[in-house]
Amino acid sequence: MDEPQQGKPAADEERVLAEIKAMQAVSAALMPLNKQQQNRVLTWVTSALGLGVVPKQGVAGTSIEVMGSPLAYSSEPVTVGMTPATRHQSPTYGTLHDLYAAAQPSGEPERALVIGYWLQVLQGSQDFDAQTVNSELRQLGYPIQNITQAFTALMNRKPSLVMQTKKSGTAHQARKRLKLTSFGVQAVERQLASRGSGGADDSGT
């Protein structure tokens, strides 16, 4: 009688992992496209599958590690292309300092992620390099000693928060071009929403 119950968590975990892999595949396919192309693809897919609104839900108790904190699945319907953070509030940040102060990143990978968000989402860059990110951090007074290591940590998260798009320059001095994945964008937006609502997690204080 107990065997089916013991096997259920394993089956649930396999299903969640399969969903995450599918999300990563979709994210990787959409990243090279511009926003209009992404919207057309998502509109076609949701129409073809009869989705309209995509429910963001999963197995109860399941979470994904982002921004140093567990990101739990939510059963709340989420409109395609929007996260709860961007749907309920859409604050504007006139300067990088404003964004950084609002996000209050706690660790070096999180610092790099916030700057990447600034460059990609708010400044409209298709991609960026690690040196540019560290230069911006240096201007803020928060440089990272090993910026490559920080981005490697973000790429190794499950799911990945950053992906490499290409390399530029000669083979010996090539610079990797980087881009936040949809999970990376959502991680920053959730962090901003948490700080804006008075959250104190990962404050480091």
**Where do the domains of the chain lie, and which CATH numbers do they carry?**
3-87 (no CATH), 88-196 (1.10.10.10)
pLDDT of the residue at 57:
40
Overall pTM > 0.85: no
Look-up: residue for tokens 């540019």?
A: 132
Rounded to whole angstroms, the Cα distance separating 126 from 161 reads 16
Give the other-Cβ count within 10 Å of 51's Cβ.
12
Low-confidence ranges of the chain (pLDDT < 50): 1-2, 4, 52-90, 198-205
pLDDT of the residue at 67:
42
Helices (H), 32-181: 35-48, 84-88, 96-103, 108-117, 130-140, 147-156
Ramachandran bin of 124, using left for φ above 0, alpha for ψ from -120 to 50, beta for the remaining angles: left
pLDDT of the residue at 142:
96
DSSP result, 178-199: EEE-HHHHHHHHHHHHHHHTT-
Torsion angles phi and psi, residue 26, rounded to 5: -65, -45
